[in-house]
Structure 1
Amino acid sequence: MGSKTLCDDHNQDVVQLSHSNTDIAVPTFVKLLPTKVFPNMVQTRETLEFLLSSARRLREVKAIIVNSFSELETHAIASLSTENTIPPLYPVGSILNLESGSGAEKPLDDDLIRWLDNQPPSSVVFLCFGSLGSFEEVQVKEIARALEHSGHRFVWSLRQPPIHKRSRVTVDYEDPGVVLPEGFLERMAKIGKVIGWAPQVAVLGHCAVAGFVSHCGWNSLLESLWIGIPVATWPMYAEQHMNAFELVVELGLAVEITMDYKKKLY
């Protein structure tokens, strides 16, 4: 919606803006928004046009339902609700699936939960980057070294990049040791656990977990806010960079690791 307003109402070249290093006023934010956190889709003419056509069609609907709530996004909801060209907006959130192991989720990993049960309260950092979140081997090794040097307890949901370039689906490593520094798993055995797919709600809700390094997908942020776990932001793609900006700068509800890391989706 913000991209459409910039293009249609203010005659701004959003693609050019997305490659600049500037801050601009966006109605849904109180503070100036850095163009470096624009979504990937506004960085090329082709993907921007698809985004704009979708946003323009929103004006044809009778109402818009969003998974948010006014206490969280007071200014954004108010600014959209007073815009005459936008249909009525209804924040109906938070809508969350808090039943771990239900629906499409995999069953809980009993070994993981037992490991967490044996950790001191509020002592574990949870790293999880979503269903499409993965890193190349060089970045995996750097994260591992940082965790080892920190000395803190951790659970790391480590996923393998898509095997086929046209696929976006990440999968678990058969042996995560192949991309980790030599001996890492053995050295970290007492204070860290590397897993594949993570039962995110169950982990965030465990009393041993004290912090969440997140890709800043909206559902993940809502889950962390609902459960009350502090977030360190590491957005990767889509709208996650703007989500990170909102939580860190606009609302002061998270801390920044990075807000402009961009990962190319396969």
Structure 2
Amino acid sequence: MANTVAQLIFIPAPGMGHMLSTIEIAKLLVNRDHRLSITVLIIKPRGMDSGLAITSYIESLAKSTIDRISFIQLPQDETLPVHNPKDPLTSNKEFIKTHCKYVRNVVAELASQPGSGHLAGFVVDFFCTCMIDVANEFNVPTYVFFTSNAAFLGFILYVKTLSDDLNKDVLELSNLDTEVSLPGFVKPVPTKVFWSPVKTREGLNFVLQCSRKLREAKAIMVNTVLELETHAMESLSSDTNIPPVYPVGPVLNLDTSSGATKLVDDDAIKWLDSQPPSSVVFLCFGSMGSFDEIQVKEIARALEQSGHRFLWSLRRPPSDLTTRIPSDYEDPSVVLPEGFMERTCGIGKVIGWVSQVRVLGHNAIGGFVSHCGWNSLLESLWFGVPSATWPIYAEQQMNAFEMVVELGLAVEIKLDYLKNLSDPKATTVVVTAEEIESGIRRLMKDNEVRTKVKEMSEKSRSAVAEGCSSYASVGRLIEDFMMEKS
């Protein structure tokens, strides 16, 4: 029957960036087709109470009334697997795996309810592929929603090819100071920007397990745009050994009226209202980005020496290592150079947590110093704001390389900066004020990059319009879901 609802089970990874984009793709799907209904199963992060932003977001989801989307917060075991800071990915995998039994129980209960609709499949995050086994128990397919980009997806899949099919020692290769040709990139990729897990035995084992598990999916959705990552998408599409890949992006939360935007510093927006168009450098390093006092002082020196107007989201490093979530300073001057606030009064503003979308969409913003989280880069492209790359963790080094070297859509402050979020005592290289200042000057003056970013902004916005690439890709995906229903 045409009105019969196809029920999907969504399982995002327990992190702010993963949850935000997963909720947005869920909204996109139910808005596109009234026959779809989605239940989102929420895994609470460890030590969630210490992270105000993500705690507030999860609580707001539980109270949400989005048409044909419901939210269920999963229980947690009283005794969780011991977190191993030396092998955080495996620890996280085991933590997520403890939720399989709860997912099984919830789905069985949902399926038994009258009028619940036909269960058409699971949609899981890359870090939740253990749930494929649960979906198999219900005899339904699993789709993976990959919250990063197509080139990085290609890298993860190719790690398995290198190891299993070409018999390469990936661990040894990753720790060499060399460049490697990867299918998803036109240009050779330096191993210094490889995703750090492949440089340890434990991490590599995790990546290999995930790469193998991805091949069990019915299809993979990627938060990207065909026109942005043409080569990477063509590479994935030509590989007959992997599931079909759907580019469905940019999947963004552009709503500035609710949710986390309640934490916006309205005073900062008022300050931006008084600045000339495209004159302000915005520095923001994501929900988990922060620096120690030495590095903060180098950033401050660079900003002062550059003479450019700036808006700086400065966060305090986390005191609770189980959450790794920074907080705001009550008085940021305690970590800034003496007199900095007074000397830059009028041309700069230091703030705490802020709505990144609201700031990037302001016409006073002319450049974005970013940690290169994929959501952040997509947002900057959407608003036509060029970026300067300062990756910190996760796959951000590969994102930075793609944006600067592969696509020419950003300028470099660093490509290979890496901070160990699990070990505060680990040595991190200090980026000098001179390096930062140079990157900021290029960011604000490179008209070639600025022009390319504006062009990509138009393509990104066009992609989601009816009849265009991402819109059509989502349509094919929905057809796939409905075939499962029938």
Please classify the TM superposition score into its range, dividing by the shorter chain length: over 0.9
What's the RMSD between the two structures over aligned residues?
1.2
Q: CA deviation at 1:165?
A: 2.7
Partner of 2:371: 215
Counterparts in 2 of 1:216-235, with a 5 A limit? Answer: 216-235=372-391
Unaligned runs of 5+ in 2: 1-156, 423-486
Partner of 2:181: 25
Task: Provide TM-score, normalisation by structure 1.
Answer: 0.97
Partner of 2:398: 242
- Aligned residue for 2:393, secondary structure, equals coil
Partner of 1:162: 318
Partner of 2:342: 186
Partner of 2:256: 100
8 Å contact from structure 1 (residues 216, 244) kept in 2: yes
Q: CA deviation at 1:41?
A: 1.5
Q: 1:59 aligns with which of 215, 237, 247?
A: 215
Q: CA deviation at 1:19?
A: 2.2
Q: CA deviation at 1:107?
A: 4.0
8 Å contact from structure 1 (residues 101, 107) kept in 2: no
> Where has structure 1 moved over 6 Å in runs of 4 or more?
none
Distance 1:2 1:170, change over 3 A: farther
Comparing 40-49 with 119-128, greater Cα deviation is found at: 40-49
Unaligned runs of 5+ in 1: none
Partner of 1:44: 200
Residue 141 (str. 1) matches residue 297 (str. 2): yes
Distance 1:101 1:45, change over 3 A: farther
- Aligned residue for 2:411, secondary structure, equals strand
8 Å contact from structure 2 (residues 260, 355) kept in 1: no
Kindly provide the CA deviation profile for residues 226-260 of structure 1, in whole angstroms up to 9, marking residues without a partner as x: 11001111111111111111111111111111100
Q: 2:309 aligns with which of 153, 156, 171?
A: 153
* Aligned-partner Cα distance in 1 for 2:337–2:167: 50
Letter in 1 for 2:351: I
Comparing 117-126 with 10-19, greater Cα deviation is found at: 10-19
Kindly provide the CA deviation profile for residues 133-168 of structure 1, in whole angstroms up to 9, marking residues without a partner as x: 111110010010111111110001111111023331
* Aligned-partner Cα distance in 1 for 2:308–2:279: 8
Letter in 2 for 1:264: N
- Aligned residue for 2:405, secondary structure, equals helix
- Aligned residue for 1:106, secondary structure, equals helix
Larger Cα Rg: Structure 1 or Structure 2? 2
Residue 131 (str. 1) matches residue 287 (str. 2): yes
Q: CA deviation at 1:2?
A: 2.9
Letter in 1 for 2:279: S
Task: Provide TM-score, normalisation by structure 2.
Answer: 0.54
- Aligned residue for 1:228, secondary structure, equals coil
* Aligned-partner Cα distance in 2 for 1:124–1:2: 40
* Aligned-partner Cα distance in 1 for 2:209–2:226: 27
8 Å contact from structure 1 (residues 29, 76) kept in 2: yes
* Aligned-partner Cα distance in 2 for 1:105–1:125: 20
Q: CA deviation at 1:22?
A: 0.5
Q: CA deviation at 1:106?
A: 3.0
Q: 1:204 aligns with which of 346, 360, 368?
A: 360
Distance 1:142 1:246, change over 3 A: same
Counterparts in 2 of 1:60-79, with a 5 A limit? Answer: 60-79=216-235
**Going by fraction, where is helix more abundant, 1 or 2?**
2
